[in-house]
Structure formats: C-alpha cells, structure tokens
Chains A and B, each alone.
Chain A
Amino acid sequence: THQIRQCFSSSLLRCIGEPVQTVASVSCSWGAALSVVFCCFKPPRACEDYWSEFRHCKSFKNWFHHYYTYGTVPSCQQWKEDYHNCREWEKHRGTEAKEALRRSEKIRVAEQRNFIPVWQLRQEPPRDWHVPLNQEKPQDS
C-alpha cells in the first residue's frame, strides 16, 4: 500500500506539472491508474488567461477594432463562462465544467479553420531558404 501511495503521489505531482502525454509513461500500476483518472485533463488555458481575454474583449479598444473590421460589436460572454468553468473545474474537478470548456474551445478552433485554403500546405520548408546567394561569398548569420 505504501508503494501504491508513493507511486500515486509522484504520478500526481508529475501530472500537475507536465503535459498529459507523460502520464502514460509512468510505469507503476495502481498509482498511475488512479492519477490518470484524476488528472488526465488540464484546462486548455490557464484560468487567468480566460479572464485576461475577457477583459481585453470588453475593452474600448477592442470594441473599436472589432466594429472597424466586422461592423458588429464583439461578443465576450463566452470568455467569462469559460473562466467560471475553469475555476469550477479547479475547485471540484467536475465533468460538466470540463466538457463545457472543451466544447467551447473546440468551437473556437473550428471558427479559426472555417475556410477552404487556397493553397496546399508544405510538409517541409522550401529547400533554398538558407542557400547562400553567392557561392564565393560567405554569409553572415
């Protein structure tokens, strides 16, 4: 039991401080399983980030730029809700809060990708990006 407890607390500490993927690499059994159940998820952004996005959204400058660009007033309510869900998850680790956050962020990602690209993306950068212009002249970096 002592070993399981030790394994659990070390997994938990690692999980809080590190990306989710590393949890799976922890090799101890019950402790790891328990810690995965507890901390497989972190809010996509830090809670303070949600709050600062909300404040930025509500600012006059942002209102001005949004109206200048889109002809409409910006809608900021979602940032506030996300902030509350984030704090809610921190306090009680509820699935509702977690799912609400995930849903909201997935909508944001979909909005960012809501267009058909005109070109094909590269797999690798262009080969001649770093090729020197003159073969005989050494390039300074």
Chain B
Amino acid sequence: MDQTKQEEEYGYDLFPERKPGEHKKTSIAESLFTFNHKCQVMLQFAVETSEYQLFSLFLSGCSKVFKDRHFSCEDCDGTVSGGFDAASSQIVLCQNNIHQQSHMNRVVTHELIHAFDHCRAHVDWFNNFRHLACSEIRAANLSGDCSFTNEVARFNFGFKRHHQECVRGRALRSILAVRKISRAEAEKIVDEVFDSCFNDHAPFGRIPHSKRDAKFAYRDYMNRDRYYANL
C-alpha cells in the first residue's frame, strides 16, 4: 500500500504533521508561530489533575505514561481535537483546535481511554472496525464527552437516556472522521458492538460522572486485593 493511500485510509491526513512511521520534532520557529506553547502549558495542567493521576495508575501494563514521550501537540485539520496513534504509542493533541483548559482535560481523558485499551487488549486499530468502534464508544462514554452540561453547550437538549444517544452519535462521528466507510456501514458496526462496549466500564468500574465517582473508583482500585480475596 503506498504512503498516500495509507495516510487517507487510516485518518493520518487529519494530522498533517504526522506521517505513519516518521517522527518530526517541533522547531523553535514552529513553537513561536503556532499554538504549541499554549498546548504544552494546558497539557501540563491537565496531567496535574487528580483524575489524570488516578488514570495513569490504571494504565495496566503500560505502567507509566510520560508527558514528553506519549503526548504530542500538533496542528490538525478540520475540527478534530485529538487522536491516538497506535503506531508510535502517542496521544496527539490538536493545538489549533483546543483553546480551553476544560476541553484539554476532556481530550486527554478521552485519548487515555484509547491508550488504556491499546495497553490491555489486542486492539487492531487499523483493520478491525469493530475494535475501533468499541474504543470510541468507551471513550465517549467514560471521558465526560457526553455529560449533560457538554451536551447542552452543543445545544443538544436531551435528558432521559440522552447519554447513550450522545455516545452513539459521537462514536459514529469519530469513526467517520478517520475511516473511509459509509455512514450506514458505520452505524451498523456501532449497533453491533454498542451493548458490549457501553457496559465495559474498565478501569473505573462505573461511569465517572462526577469527582466523587472518580474518587470512589480510585478507592475501589486501591482496595482490590482485599475485595477479591474476600469474595
């Protein structure tokens, strides 16, 4: 498969600074004339939040996530906010599309869920649409993307069971953004895996809607030895 085709097939065309298999270091000029510095600062704040600390503990076999190795601030096309590049084990943050700290926090959590799935399972990101859909469903479900307040800010005023509609919709959007398949096909795949993936709350054990949920998830994680020994 030639390079251009591969770029389009796997969504790399959204991340023009990122060619599959290559790594480019940001130059000083680029740092000055892009949002790179702002992105780095916001990322630093994001990794200092307690949710991040908690999450990095959970990261299963990939015991440590290093800010300099596993995160990259880059310019991206369109309105995409971030991505997970399995080829280089990096979380991409779109410096030109993330302008608020709360947005940064949410994108970091969303992409960390992809990283978590990559670390704990054999996810075939490039060839298996069901795997991709599953991770997108989980990321939309567990990252706070679909919280009531975020949906209202997008002028989506649903309430009863609206969370699930939002998760479905956002997973669909994410798949269509990075893969060349029809909407009908993508919907079918999301429907097939939705029940399984929506109910997979690893590593939290619950859908973390609030700080207290996150705190209790952390408590359960620290207590896991005692818990399973006494069942």
Contact = CB atoms under 8 A, between A and B. Distances in A.
Interface stretch (A3-11, A27-35, A63-71): A63-71
A131 B63 CA distance: 14
B230 A133 contact: no
Q: How large is the interface on A (under 10, 10 to 19, 20 to 34, 35 or more residues)?
A: 35 or more
Contact of A20 (B60, B120, B130, B229): B229
Contact of B122 (A42, A43, A68, A120): A120
Given A141-B68, A141-B69, A133 B88 contact: yes
B61 interface: yes
A71 B158 CA distance: 11
B25 A119 contact: no
Nearest to B219: A49
A58 interface: no
Contacts of A94: none
B120 A122 contact: yes
Nearest to B228: A44
B118 A119 contact: no
15 contacts: A20-B229, A45-B227, A46-B223, A52-B216, A61-B209, A69-B209, A109-B231, A115-B195, A115-B196, A118-B134, A120-B122, A121-B120, A122-B121, A126-B119, A141-B64
Nearest to A139: B69
A36 to B, nearest CB: 14
Contact of A69 (B117, B123, B207, B229): B207
Given A53-B216, A115-B200, A44 B66 contact: no
B230 A129 contact: no
A27 B148 CA distance: 57
Most chain B beta-carbon neighbours within 10 Å: one of A44, A118, A139: A118
Interface string B193-207: 101110111000101
Given A114-B199, A121-B121, A130 B69 contact: yes
Contacts, number: 130
B162 A68 contact: yes
A51 B159 CA distance: 29
A86 to B, nearest CB: 11
A25 interface: no
Most chain A beta-carbon neighbours within 10 Å: one of B64, B88, B117, B163: B163
Given A19-B226, A122-B120, A139-B68, 8 more contacts: A20-B229, A42-B226, A65-B210, A112-B205, A114-B199, A118-B193, A119-B134, A140-B69
B93 to A, nearest CB: 16
Contact of A68 (B60, B159, B228, B230): B159
A82 B136 CA distance: 35
B159 A118 contact: no
A43 B226 CA distance: 8
Q: Closest 3 CB pairs between A and B?
A: A125-B61, A71-B161, A65-B209
A116 B196 contact: yes
Interface string A97-141: 000001001100100101111111110111011111110010111
A77 interface: no
A68 B164 CA distance: 9
Nearest to A119: B121
A70 to B, nearest CB: 7
Nearest to A111: B199
B225 to A, nearest CB: 6
A38 to B, nearest CB: 15
Contacts of A19: 225-226, 229
A137 B69 CA distance: 11
